Chains A and B, each alone.
Chain A
Amino acid sequence: MKLNIRELILFWAAFAVMFYLPSSSRADTTFGRHQHEAQGVVSAQEKRTVATFEQRVKDYVKLRNRIKAKVPKLSKDSTPEQIAAFEKASVEALRVARAGAKPGDLFTPDMAQLIRTTLKSEFKPTEKKEIRKVVLEAEAARAPLRVNYPYPDSSEFTETPAKVLLRLPQLPKEVKYRYVGRNLFLVDTDNNLIIDYMLDALP
């Protein structure tokens, strides 16, 4: 029995859906895995949303690493003066390079909604209560909701609960998630620049 081209394509597409896609979605990120478990399937749209987010994070890291290479480097034995000079120089250069950056550049509306949905559906009520306690007890309210500005160094750096981190897409070491009240920031590890933020991200 001969199969025509259309039937062959359909066969391989079905094969891929049955075997390839579920395993690849598990391998992608913890975020994807939990989505898969919680909702039965990660839609193609959701995968694209996460991929876009991860690509934009990578693009940011490339940019900041190019800039970091041009400012005085920090050694493991730096003085406070060297640390201050590094932070000032790298923040200023990055802010100029990212002129025009706006909320939602990385946390696109789709990505923000996906994070909200995931975090709200992933935890038991008792877990939600404990996570909220950890996040909301921090006194970080003074941090401004302003992209491309440094997180104020007089503000507390809220603990980002491990259980939340394990549900979100993993970030490269240069970038971190940080809660400020109910909102979730993306900040640069080395200079605390607010790269982006999204509202209402508590489980």
Chain B
Amino acid sequence: MRLMRRSSSVLTTAALILFAFLNPTLCQTAASRNAQGSRVSQPARPGLPLSLPLKDGSVRFAVIGDTGTGSSKQQQIADVMIRYRERFPFDTVLLLGDNLYGTETPADYRKKFSDVYQSLLDNKVKFYATLGNHDEPNERFYENFNMNGKEYYRFTKGNVAFYSLNSNYMDKKQLEWLESELAKDTSEWKICFFHHPPYSSGGKHGSDKPLREVIEPIFVKYGVNVVLNGHDHFYERIKPQKGIYYFVSGAGGKLREGNVKENSPLTDKYFDSDMSFMLVEIAKNQMYFQAVSRTGETVDTGVLANQKKQK
């Protein structure tokens, strides 16, 4: 069944990417036509297709989660990300947690992080980390994770405010901090990233409902636009929930192949047959995204409108 879906979507998807090349503003329409929760696969092309518009003054970043294995596959997907930067010059990477699996000796920091992304670090790309369930809290002091010694923090780029939250320990203090920061935030885009997904179609983990019940009301109340999570080792774009866009991108170092539940009502698009990361570009009131596999295939792409501007 999955193979049939995959083969039937190949031509459609290839056409969509070409279409997106010619007119990126049409990505949303194109993506939604193929948004049936089907697994997407398409042949890799030597030039690494880019469906992001590269608009002047836009905010550009990459997103990758569950990276820290130190495996050859982690290196392979990092290499694709590095190659993509030649076409899409991003200066920021969001790490969605599980930055270091297993032990965390100095050698582990090198093997599972700095050696893998050395080229990006050399080019002054800044990584902003969040803590996953495999991360020691002291990672918050690590120079290359830019957490400034904090388990949860906020930073801005252009018209975008980013909130890195610690979903391992969402206590009253953190919730109060989040609420007070969001209440005074006038940024056009508010993006929260943390490890455990409030919405996910993963068979292994799936939606973290206890977490969702606590933080979703805050997101809704203060107009959070986008939520990015890892933990489940695949890519999934969730159908907007209460007006918020959710993504799971937890396949930057591990893959849980075939783990997305078939016919999940949450899924807009998913990819769980190889590892992946995301590229994102925000230009004024539009957020363009492209999810890329370890072999350089574009597995999802589209554009999302700022919810506040839609009203």
Contacts and interface: CB of A to CB of B under 8 A. Distances in A.
Interface stretch (B98-106, B272-280, B291-299): B98-106
Given A80-B110, A176-B169, A163 B213 contact: yes
A75 B210 contact: no
Contact of B141 (A78, A131, A171): A78
Given A84-B105, A159-B168, A77 B143 contact: yes
A156 B109 contact: no
Given A76-B149, A154-B102, A130 B210 contact: yes
Contact residues on A (Cβ < 8 Å of other chain), bracket: 35 or more
Contact of B171 (A81, A86, A138, A165): A165
B197 to A, nearest CB: 12
Given A80-B106, A159-B196, A134 B208 contact: yes
B258 interface: no
Contacts of B103: 153-154
B215 A156 contact: no
Interface in A74-112: 74-84, 86-87
A190 B135 CA distance: 12
Contact of A159 (B109, B167, B204, B215): B167
A28 interface: no
A192 interface: yes
Contacts, number: 103
Nearest to A30: B172
Contacts of B134: 156-157
A165 B169 contact: yes
A91 to B, nearest CB: 11
Given A74-B138, A76-B148, A83-B142, A160 B169 contact: yes
Contacts of A158: 133, 168
Contacts of B133: 138, 156-159
Given A162-B210, A192-B136, A80 B109 contact: yes
A82 B104 CA distance: 12
A74 B208 contact: no
B210 A166 contact: no
A80 B103 CA distance: 12
A159 B196 CA distance: 9
Contacts of B172: 30, 165-166, 170
B214 interface: yes
B70 to A, nearest CB: 13
Contacts of B143: 76-79
B209 interface: yes
A84 B134 CA distance: 17
Given A74-B149, A76-B149, A162 B171 contact: yes
Nearest to A191: B138
A173 interface: yes
Contacts of B196: 159
B5 interface: no
A43 B173 CA distance: 26
A157 B168 contact: yes
A86 B141 CA distance: 11
A161 interface: yes
B211 A153 contact: no
B63 to A, nearest CB: 21
Nearest to B171: A165
Contacts of B49: none
Contacts of B26: none
A173 B173 contact: yes
A111 to B, nearest CB: 18
B147 to A, nearest CB: 8
A189 B137 contact: yes
Contacts of A7: none
Contact of B173 (A74, A81, A87, A170): A170
17 contacts: A30-B172, A77-B141, A79-B142, A79-B143, A83-B104, A134-B211, A154-B103, A156-B133, A157-B133, A159-B133, A159-B196, A161-B210, A162-B170, A162-B211, A162-B215, A170-B173, A171-B171
Given A80-B106, A171-B171, 6 more contacts: A80-B105, A80-B109, A83-B139, A127-B210, A159-B211, A162-B170
